Structures are given as structure tokens and as C-alpha cells.
Structure 1
Amino acid sequence: MKDILVLRELEQIKAISHPYRVEVFECFESDQPQSAKQIAEKLGEPHAKVNYHIKSLLKVGILELVDERVKSGIIEKYYLPAAKALVIDKSFVQNADDDMVQTMNQASISFFEKISEDYYRAAENPLQYRKYINHLNEYYLTHDEVKDIMEKVDVYIHELIKDKKDKTRKDVHPYNIAILGIPIVKPKKRG
């Protein structure tokens, strides 16, 4: 499995822009192949629904079929992500038409919805998990300045967490770490 898969095709971005597919992708926590049945059990969803979305991710190369095993006369397929992280090709973003911009916005919304769901589930369990939020509001930056900040923070965070996939360490809990650089868009005045 690669560390990063650079998405260079519109179909790849459309596939991962579906919120449920983000959840399916994130169910692959380790380098262990998983079947649609295993993912369905994790998500508490019907096998057919999960299988449909796995096939969509498989078709565009975001997931890979890595094994087939016969169990009780049935072939069970096992998958892994093509990479640990997905990134949209920078040149693809710079040359985006309206359809591409809309697709990228939907992909961003899907990831944000997943982050929001995780946040609210944690908020409903205030004593079980600690939450850490750092919110810096209304700074005036250029696009390049925001991009530079995000790239530097990303490098720094990856350095800090690079060896933190071991679930067996004492007192560890799974955390999602999200860094957002969101432009402030003022609501339009009602006329």
C-alpha cells in the first residue's frame, strides 16, 4: 500500500465525494485486508450497501482487490486501499472547470460531514473522551499563505504521529485530527 494516492481523474474524485464512501474508506484502519462483510459489520450497515460502494471505489482504483477466499462454498473478496491517504492533484485543481469545482466542493463537504459526525459522537460522551479544539478566527491571508500554513502543519503533524498506529499501546484511544483552512463567506443580505 502506498502512503499517498494522487487523484488525477474526475471519476476518482466523484467516487470519494460521496460521504458514505469516505466512511467505507476510513474503515480500513490497518494494513489488514477486509471483506465487504467485515466493513458492513463495523458500520452496522447491510452487506449489499457496503458492497456497492466498495465496487465504486474499486472501479476507480481507490480500493484494490488483494485476496479471494472460499468460505462455506462462497468466494469472499478482501480489499485494501490503494494508499493510506488521498490527495487531489494540484494541477488538476488549478485547471478545474465548474463541474470539477462542484465535485471538489462535494468531496470537501463529505470529509467535513465525517469529521462533524465524529465530533458530535464524541461530544455526546463528554467523560469518555477528551476533545482538543484550537480555533483561530478571522485572519486575513492570501490563498498562498493559507496553503503554506496547511502544508507546514501537515508535515509537522505527520512527523508527530508517524509511529502512532499501534492500538496495543497503553491508554490509547482513536482520534481524528482535522486541520481546516476555511474562507469566511459572509451571508448575502436579504433584499
Structure 2
Amino acid sequence: MKDILVLRDIDQIKAVSHPYRVDILEAFAEEPLSAKQLSELLSEPHAKINYHIKTLLNAGILELVEEKVKSGIIEKYYLPKAKMVIMDKSILNSAVYDENVARTLNQVSISLFEKISDDFYRAAENDEVKSKHVRHYNQYYLTEEECKEVMDCLEEKITEVLNGKDKKDRDNTRPYNITLMGVPDLRKEKKAKK
């Protein structure tokens, strides 16, 4: 399994734009899993798992790594092609960036936000959200380019601070999801126009 798979194709991006498929990818550790095992892990019907596995396979995000015969039935085992899946930034600047691509990227963003929201609520319900870990900045009036510049600057700083420290085999570590979002405040924008 590679460390990173860069998605450069719109069909690959569509494949991971569904929050349920993200759950499937995150269910894997280092060992291959069958559709039956995934079904049990995620408490979902086997047929539903198979449908989403097929989509991820066709997009080249999952791969079939082994087949075992159990009681006369062939059981297939899968692994993600990489530990982490990221989207190639050039897709945003490509000549084929049209309404369909924009819709797909919005769906990816919605799926990601839903996943982050679920993680946040789960942590909050377990009294694991600490104020020192939450930052909210609002009322900044920026152009699209300025917002992108802020996001790029923060990404560079996070990469600099972590610099290989994000290994899970270190003592006293736990997984954190760090999310940076620049979201237009459409409610305030509408009020200002009135």
C-alpha cells in the first residue's frame, strides 16, 4: 500500500464524494478486508457494501489483493491503494473545469464536512472537545484569491510545525482531525444587499 494516492481524474473524485465511501476507506488498517468484514465493521448490509466497493474498485482507489475459497464461496479481500487519498490541486485550474466538475467538488466538500461534523459531535458527546482546540474567525472580508492565500499559508505552517511528528507510533499521541475552511457567510451577504 502506497502512502498517498493523488486523484487526478474526475471519476476518482466522484467516487470519494460519497461520505459512505469515505467510511469504507477509513475502516481499513493494514490488513485486507472482505465485503463481509466491512459489512460487520460498519453495520451495513452486504449488498450496500458491495455496491460501494465496486465503485471504489472501478475508480482505482481500492484494489483486490486476495481471493479465498470458504465453503465453496469465493471471498474477495480488498485494500485501499494508499493510506491517504488527496485531490490534485491542478484539477481546480484545469481547462475542463466546468459546471459538472464544480458540482462534484462541492459534493466532495459536503461529504468531508459531514464527516468532520460527525467526528466533532462524537467528540463533544464524549466531552473530548476542548476550547484550546477550537478556533473560529469570522467577519473577514476577502477576495477569493485572498482566502486561498490564507488557506495556503496555514497549510504551509501546519506542515512546517508537524514536519514528520504526526506518526502514530509516538508516545502520548492520539488522532486529531485539523480542519481549515474558508466559507462565505451568505447570510450576512444577503443582509448587506437588502
TM-score (norm 2): 0.83
Larger gyration radius, structure 1 or structure 2: 2
Please tell me whether the aligned partners of residues 151 and 182 of structure 2 are also in contact (alpha carbons under 8 angstroms). no
The corresponding residue for 2:34 is 35
Partner of 2:129: 131
Read off the aligned partner of 1:186 and give its amino acid letter.
Answer: L
Q: Pairwise CA RMSD of aligned residues? A: 2.3
| Mapping 1:144-159, distance limit 5 Å | 144-154=149-159, 156-157=161-162, 159=164
Q: 1:136 to 1:119 in 2, by over 3 A?
A: closer
The alpha carbon displacement at 1:165 in A equals 5.3
Matched, 1:5 2:11: no
Distance change (3 Å), C-alpha of 1:53 and 1:123: same
Deviation at 1:32, TM superposition (A): 0.8
1:186 aligns with 2:191: no
Structure 2 match to 1:78: 77
CA contact (8 A) 1:19 1:110 kept: yes
CA distance in 1 between counterparts of 2:16 and 2:72 reads 33
Cα 1:159–1:92 change in 2 (3 A) is same
* 8 A contact 2:62–2:78 mirrored in 1: yes
Q: Does 1:161 align with 2:159?
A: no
Q: Structure 2 matches for 1:54-69, cutoff 5 A?
A: 54-69=53-68
Secondary structure in 1 aligned to 2:178? coil
Which residue number corresponds to residue 112 of structure 1?
113
Residue 18 and residue 165 in structure 1: after superposition, are their counterparts in 2 closer, same or farther (change >3 A)?
A: farther
Runs of 5+ unmatched residues, structure 1: none
Q: Are 1:177 and 2:182 an aligned pair?
A: no
Q: Which residue of 1 aligns with 2:44?
A: 45
Change in CA separation of 1:151 and 1:50 when aligned onto 2, cut-off 3 Å: farther
Corresponding residue SS for 2:186: coil
1:17 and 1:110 in contact (8 A); partners too: yes
Count how many residue pairs are aligned between Structure 1 and Structure 2. Answer: 182
* CA distance 1:81–1:100, shift in 2 (3 Å): same
1:25-77 superposed Cα distances (whole Å, 9 cap, x missing partner): 1111x221111111111111111111110110010101011111111111111
Larger helix share, 1 or 2: 2
SS at match of 1:182: coil
**For structure 1, which segment, 178-187 or 51-60, has the greater mean C-alpha deviation from structure 2 after superposition?**
178-187
Point out where structure 2 has 5 or more consecutive residues left out of the alignment.
none
